[in-house]
Amino acid sequence: MSRPPADDLDDIQAARDARGPVLRKSPGPTAWFDIRKRSTGHWAFSLNRITSLGLVFYLYLHLAVLSMLLGGKDSWNGFLDIATQPLFLGFDVLLIFGLLFHGLNGLRVALVGSGVAPDHQKALFWSFMVFGAILLLGAALHIAGSG
């Protein structure tokens, strides 16, 4: 089958355009976080984005907290009294979860992206997650013991 002449293609395109605009149907950023009916790789992709946002937020929060040192010893000690409350220690565990997930999943992506075991990326993901869960449990017990 031969390709139609260019003039004919132009006529076809003009006829299409005359019918009105097409609909750009794209979910946008919600697609990053919509994990319904999606696979392990997408969950990892979504959680990686969430933890990245969380870690960036924490970075600025950390700098803000450190600025309390400018207020002197009493200001800092007052903050420490709050920071050692059980609720804040829970936030520490959440922070360590974010660090471990983001770091370990990043390592998985780097390995797979280098052509290392791309056919086994799910197994690699769950292996890293089990390792991360063990580290998180240890960190949580340590924090609980120091509280």
Q: Which residues bind another protein (CB under 8 A)?
A: 16, 19-32, 34, 36-42, 44-46, 109, 112-115, 118-119, 121
d(CA 45, CA 144): 30
Given the complex with another protein, which of 69 and 107 has the nearer CB atom? 107
Residue type, 59: L
Least distance (Å) from another protein to the CB of residue 71?
A: 42
**Number of C-beta neighbours around residue 124 at 10 A:** 20
Q: Which residue has 């009493």 as its token pair?
A: 74
Nearer to another protein, 6 or 70 (CB): 6
- Shortest gap between Cβ of 77 and another protein (angstroms)? 44
Assess contact for 47 and 64: CB atoms under 8 A. no
Cβ proximity to another protein, 21 vs 145, nearer residue: 21
CB 106 to another protein: min, Å: 10
- Do residues 31 and 37 lie in contact, with contact meaning Cβ atoms separated by under 8 Å? no
- The C-alpha atoms of residue 23 and residue 26 are separated, in whole angstroms, by 9
What is the smallest separation between the CB atom of 56 and another protein, expressed in angstroms?
17
